[in-house]
Amino acid sequence: MKKISIIGGCGHVGLPLGLTLAQAGHQVQLVDLNERAVQSINKGVVPFVEAGAAEILEKTIGKTLFATTSPDVIRTCDVVVFVTGTPVDEHLNPRVHDVVKVINSYKSQINKNALVVLRSTVYPGVLEIIDAILRETFEEPLLAFCPERIVQGKGIEEIGNLPQLISATSQKAEDMAHDLFVTIAPKVIRLKPKEAEIAKLMTNAWRYLEFAAANQFYMMVESQGLDFYKIFNALRDDYPRAQHFPRPGFAAGPCLFKDTMQLSAFHKSHFFLGQSAMLVNEGLPVFVADQMEKKLGGSLKGKSLAILGMTFKPNNDDIRESLSFKLKKVLEMRMANVICSDPYLKDSVDLETAIEKSHGIILGVPHNQYLNLKINKPTVDCWGVWRKGE
């Protein structure tokens, strides 16, 4: 069993990995600058929604799992995992400097024999850059890129059920990464560094493209006054080649849009499918606002509108890059009074009040609490969960 530090270990990527490794018997230190999250974990409280996390945390905290804000624990570790990814800037270009800055901040604490693992999505070629930085300190750095491919909120389950991609800048580091991840993953697939970097981007870009196709069809059909879901249900009914046709909805969150734009930058901005997908998915909130405007007589000025669901995905408490907030801004620009309600957010308006005080209601995210609502007011539901008789 290994001694492992996870830098940024109290977040949505680091914590599921840390809990899974700790459950497997490894000694895991979660290192994080977020003191509130560190205190929460040390008290046995998971700071966000993650299926199965509470049970594992209760069994491992103080035994095989520890959380701290101090980087000193890194010095004695066999493995150091970084969960800092590559974001994009306001011009949709990858900010490689963010990853470099974090590595430089911690490299003096890393043991020369330790395996360094990059876990979050990085721009193709970043592993080579980090290898060069580590060579300023270590003669033969042991560096691997082992990307997470988990669904938010179900990370622990998916780490244990999905194949793990691994890559490294040396055979020794690759073998060390393999030996680590076979203890928690059902299958390990070896790739070269750039292959693994691109594979992660392509995974998220493909999902983003799928959602864009569904959203484009939705806007195309609904703009002609037709019932999209009547057509959608008909084309899928006992027709096997349409079973994977996704439902429309807000394609948001911290990864899909960002990674699609990274792939576009990698291809010298010639990823026209990805750029078109961005225009479609980012345009859906405007189309939803248009739909509500039509239902309320052509103007939203002075109208109270409720958005039910403000997180970026159903049954989760993560609001990062949520398109419900973009919808809120669009509605406010049209001089509407916007009431935000979400059972996962403490400061939002309660559901009953939101419905009572609104002239119209928009489903932002289909949390389970909303699936069976009966609302006698104008509604817009691009997700199709409030359709009568279904």
Which domains occur in the chain, in start order?
3-191 (3.40.50.720), 204-380 (3.40.50.720)
In 46-113, which ranges are continuous DSSP H helix?
A: 53-60, 96-106
Instruction: Please report where in the chains the tokens 């248009």 appear, as a residue.
Output: 290
Instruction: Quote the DSSP letter at residue 230.
Output: H
Q: Provide the pLDDT for residue 64.
A: 98
Of the candidates 166, 256, 246, the residue with the CA atom closest to the CA atom of residue 203: 256
Low-confidence ranges of the chain (pLDDT < 70): 388-390
User: What would the pLDDT profile of 95-141 be if each residue is shown by its tens digit?
Assistant: 888 899 999 999 999 999 999 999 999 999 999 999 999 999 999 99
Burial 181-213, CB ≥16 within 10 A → b, else e: beebbeebeebebbebbbbbbebbbebbbbbbe
pLDDT at position 182: 98
118 in Cβ contact with 144 (< 8 Å): yes
**CB 202, CB 263: distance < 8 Å:** yes
Residues 109 and 139 sit within 8 Å (Cβ to Cβ): no
What pLDDT is stored for residue 354 in this prediction? Answer: 97
Q: Check residue 114 and report its DSSP letter.
A: P
**pLDDT score, position 152:** 87
Closest CA to 281 of 353, 208, 226, 347: 208
d(CA 352, CA 210): 34
Q: Residue for token digits 């491919």?
A: 149
Closest CA to 281 of 379, 382, 197: 382
Supply the pLDDT for residue 87: 79
Q: What is the pTM of this model?
A: 0.92
Residues in Cβ contact with 192 at an 8 Å cutoff, skipping those fewer than 6 apart = 167
Structure tokens at 69: 């804000």
CA distances from 139 to 5, 45, 114, 173 (A): 22, 41, 13, 14
- Mean model confidence pLDDT for the chain: 95
Q: What is the pLDDT of residue 389?
A: 46
Residue 56: strand, helix, or coil = helix
Half-sphere exposure of 315 (CA within 13 A, CB side): 8
DSSP string computed for 153-218 = T-HHHHHHHS-EEEEESSHHHHHHHHHHHTTT-S-EEE--HHHHHHHHHHHHHHHHHHHHHHHHHH
